[in-house]
């Protein structure tokens, strides 16, 4: 990427942006009508948290716009420059569906599904990461801050540092980082570790993710590690810089959820949901991407047994399961859909009456307004992930419960369990334990539910996504004091 390379020659073509986010997807969705198309901000806390930093700091976002074989010019949206990176149809198959979602995703989630290792998938991942790094280098101002997001982009920090040593580079991994014994399977483990170490600061969800990573650094690349700091040599025997690995648990846009939870029409909608279900005594809710990491099958098994044992009666309780479509061309996701839909069909066939349905299964995505209405309608929220970086649904449910009622059943394998200690914590593999936790949650006294929810709400309200991004970016700036960026010497 010669044109973007800095040197002491001040005519070098730096870009104009001081703050750049890099992620696989741009934070917008295309809305098409018959003769035109526009862009709409996609739901999710990350873009909300970063929007103020973006508009203040001349921000740009580098990412894929979601369609294959299409090159688009950069454009402005919501006070930021969006820089679309094109992907071919093959790259969608090899880099995105393949290496990102059929190699790294299962590997990083405790190999719940078997990861596949294919050399041509890795080659595509490397090439696409290089393209993202180049696109970023081309728009970054001298000394700019770049924040690279998630497992699809792990080689970008090193590539970017090589091209632009003047930049401050942060990386945040939204998913777990696996234990060494599992990570060791990856044929490209050294490249991935070195790719990440290109960042000045590497953020993880849980302290255990950061320590897993540091163990892998010690074992596979042999740099000096002191506590959370790694001394990285740019070339053998050459100067070193420090890369740090730390936990920064992500959160949600709390204000947005609370504002919606207080809106009259949304409160009314939540009552309507209850009425439409026939006013059951208990509404239980699951909200997940249809992903094998979410433990939806374990949840259904427990619920089926509760119906069979008579601890839950179809006349009294309704379970709503929202399973939003995800990665539908990846084999393991297809298999999962068949399995879950088979189970729902079997359970409903056995326990439904003409009047009552055991499980309302909804294979849709809903706007956030409808999600908040569901949170308000649900007496019990079920989160049974087998492994989850954080699980923001848990935090959204808690934020939405403005009246401090409702019970949260939460897997100890979700990052959210580190802080939401007053949830009914479960091991989803222990079906008897899960059943007992559901019964506890359904029968929890209002006083006990309020006591727990108050503490959890305080936790979530004090730690929203804006605080998360500020904490990370402050740590990135401060950490750089002993890491003079190279352009400063030029």
CA distance 221 to 55: 39
State the nearest-atom distance from the C-beta of 51 to ligand G6P, in Å: 18
CA distance 45 to 391: 12
Q: Is 76 one of the catalytic residues?
A: no
State the nearest-atom distance from the C-beta of 452 to ligand G6P, in Å: 27
Sign (positive/negative) of CA torsion 368, 466, 22, 193? negative
Binding mask 11-40 for ligand G6P (x = CB under 6 A): --------------x---------------
Binding mask 41-70 for ligand G6P (x = CB under 6 A): ------------------------------
Exactly one of 65, 109, 166, 174 is catalytic; which is it? 174
State the nearest-atom distance from the C-beta of 292 to ligand G6P, in Å: 13
How many Å is the Cα radius of gyration of the chain? 23
| Alpha-carbon distance values, 197 to 111, 158, 191, 361 (Å) | 24, 7, 10, 43
**Neighbouring C-beta atoms of residue 52, cutoff 10 Å:** 14
Cβ proximity to ligand G6P: between 22 and 254 the closer is 22
**What three-state secondary structure class fits 470?**
helix
Structural contact between residues 481 and 229, judged by C-beta atoms closer than 8 angstroms: no
Sign (positive/negative) of CA torsion 68, 71, 76, 82? positive
Residues 6+ apart with CB under 8 A from 306: 312, 435, 438, 439
Q: Is 174 in the site for ligand G6P (CB under 6 A)?
A: yes
State the nearest-atom distance from the C-beta of 175 to ligand G6P, in Å: 5
Q: Is 387 in the site for ligand G6P (CB under 6 A)?
A: no
Cβ proximity to ligand G6P: between 150 and 464 the closer is 150
Please name the helix (run of DSSP H) or strand (run of DSSP E) that holds residue 227, with its range, or none: none
Give the interface size with ligand G6P as a residue count (CB under 6 A): 6
Q: Is 327 in the site for ligand G6P (CB under 6 A)?
A: yes
Q: Is 298 one of the catalytic residues?
A: no
Q: Give the one residue of 18, 91, 150, 209 binding ligand G6P; rule: CB under 6 A.
A: 150
State the nearest-atom distance from the C-beta of 360 to ligand G6P, in Å: 23
- Nearest residue to 324 via CA among 366, 365, 385: 365
Q: Is 118 in the site for ligand G6P (CB under 6 A)?
A: no
Cβ proximity to ligand G6P: between 326 and 440 the closer is 326
CA distance 279 to 99: 46
Cβ proximity to ligand G6P: between 25 and 219 the closer is 25
Which residues are marked as active site? 174, 388
Interface contacts to ligand G6P, rule CB under 6 A: 25, 150, 174-175, 326-327
């Amino acid at each position: 990427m010669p044109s973007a390379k800095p040197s002491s020659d001040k005519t070098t073509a730096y870009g104009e942006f001081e703050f750049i986010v890099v992620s696989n997807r741009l934070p917008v969705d295309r809305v098409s009508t018959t003769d035109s198309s526009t862009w709409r901000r996609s739901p999710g806390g990350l873009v909300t948290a970063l929007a103020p930093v973006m508009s203040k700091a001349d921000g740009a976002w580098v990412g894929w716009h979601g369609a294959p074989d299409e090159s688009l010019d950069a454009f402005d949206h919501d006070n930021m420059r969006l820089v679309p990176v094109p992907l071919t149809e093959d790259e969608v198959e090899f880099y995105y569906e393949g290496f990102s979602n059929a190699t790294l995703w299962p590997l990083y989630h405790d190999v719940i599904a078997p990861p596949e290792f294919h050399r041509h998938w890795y080659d595509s991942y490397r090439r696409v990461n290089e393209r993202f790094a180049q696109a970023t280098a081309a728009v970054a101002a001298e000394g700019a801050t770049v924040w690279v997001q998630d497992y699809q982009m792990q080689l970008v920090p090193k590539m970017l540092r090589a091209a632009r040593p003047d930049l401050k580079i942060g990386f945040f991994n939204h998913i777990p980082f696996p234990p060494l014994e599992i990570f060791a399977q990856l044929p490209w483990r050294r490249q991935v570790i070195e790719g990440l170490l290109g960042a000045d600061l590497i953020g993880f969800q849980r302290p255990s993710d950061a320590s897993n990573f540091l163990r892998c650094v010690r074992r596979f690349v042999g740099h000096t590690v002191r506590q959370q700091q790694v001394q990285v040599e740019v070339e053998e025997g050459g100067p070193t810089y420090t890369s740090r690995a730390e936990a920064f648990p992500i959160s949600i846009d709390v204000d947005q959820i609370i504002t919606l939870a207080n809106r009259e029409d949304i409160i009314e909608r939540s009552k309507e949901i209850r009425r439409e279900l026939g006013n059951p005594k208990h509404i239980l809710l699951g909200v997940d991407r249809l992903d094998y990491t979410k433990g939806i099958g374990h949840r259904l098994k427990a619920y089926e047994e509760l119906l069979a044992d008579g601890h839950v009666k179809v006349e009294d309780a309704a379970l709503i399961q929202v399973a939003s479509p995800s990665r539908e061309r990846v084999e393991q996701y297809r298999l999962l859909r068949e399995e879950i839909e088979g189970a729902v069909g079997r359970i409903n066939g056995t326990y439904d009456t003409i009047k009552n349905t055991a499980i309302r299964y909804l294979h849709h995505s809903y706007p956030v307004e409808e999600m908040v209405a569901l949170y308000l309608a649900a007496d019990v929220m079920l989160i049974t992930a087998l492994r989850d970086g954080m699980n923001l649904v848990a935090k959204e449910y808690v934020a939405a419960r403005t009246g401090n009622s409702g019970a949260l059943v939460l897997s100890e394998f979700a990052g959210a369990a580190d802080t939401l200690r007053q949830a009914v914590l479960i091991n989803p593999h222990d079906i008897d334990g899960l059943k007992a936790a559901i019964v506890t949650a359904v029968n929890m006294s209002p006083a006990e539910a309020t006591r727990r929810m108050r503490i959890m709400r305080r936790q979530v309200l004090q730690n929203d996504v804006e605080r998360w991004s500020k904490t990370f970016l402050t740590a990135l700036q401060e950490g750089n004091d002993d890491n003079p960026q190279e352009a400063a010497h030029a």
